[in-house]
Amino acid sequence: MVAKETLEEAARLILAQDAEKAAELARRVIGEGSDPLELMNGGFIPGINQVGELFNRGELFLPQLMGAANAMKAVTDIVNEALAAAAKPRKETGTIVVATVKGDIHDIGKCIVVALLRANGFSVHDLGRDVETDKIIDAAVKLNADIIGTSTLLTTTMFRQKELEDALKKANLRRRFKTIVGGAPVTPRWAAKIGADAYAEDAQEGVRKTRDLMLSKS
């Protein structure tokens, strides 16, 4: 179990945009045998969520947001490497397209979800961040995806998830793909309101919901 003080320090380092010290903390805690997901979910993610809230309130600006995102990228890479090393080989069926929506530059929860899905044997195509809705749909069609997953950190870009649902309907593609949404400001109510098939609060739930969606397609 990761100490409360360590989790608080992890959040503080993300808020301080200190990529070097955040990475050092991640390596040390994981090296001591602690659960990398506990460190991520209890420390680093609350830190980046706070950054997003401050940005939305106008108390932080784009350079600070990008600095925090870079710090988060550093620790995410370390956590993903640890997850991949510890994963037990599994075989799942399903092709997933995942992206952070247009206007949002964070890779936080998405990168963890991608790592866990791949560790569980899914074929995952990560389109990255700040991705146009049309590009997401084009990739899903080209790859013959089963599921489209989108993530957003900012309340100002949440509407892009609805935009995707509307665009799929307009193109008569909605029944072809299952959709799952996530991100700090996203809720089950929002997912239901826009017509998404599922909502995932964190990476582990993302894997469970993906399995459920694949079963519903069979």
Residue 88 has pLDDT above 70, yes or no: no
What are the respective helix, strand and coil percentages of the chain, to the nearest 5? 60, 10, 30
What is the per-residue pLDDT for 92? Answer: 63
DSSP 163-207: HHHHHHHHTT-TTT-EEEEESTT--HHHHHHHT-SEE-SSHHHHH
What is the pLDDT averaged over residues 15-43?
94
Radius of gyration (C-alpha) of the chain in whole angstroms? 17
What sections of 32-107 are H helices per DSSP? Answer: 36-39, 45-56, 62-86
Backbone torsion region of residue 172, taken as left when φ is above 0, otherwise alpha when ψ lies between -120 and 50, otherwise beta: left
**Domains along the chain with CATH numbers:** 4-86 (1.10.1240.10), 95-217 (3.40.50.280)
The predicted-structure confidence for 151-209, as pLDDT tens digits, reads as follows 998 899 999 999 999 999 999 999 999 999 999 899 999 999 999 999 999 888 998 99
What is the per-residue pLDDT for 115? Answer: 81
The pTM of the full predicted model, rounded to 2 decimals, is 0.73
DSSP 3-16: -HHHHHHHHHHHHT
CA-based angle 77:178:188, to the nearest 5?
75
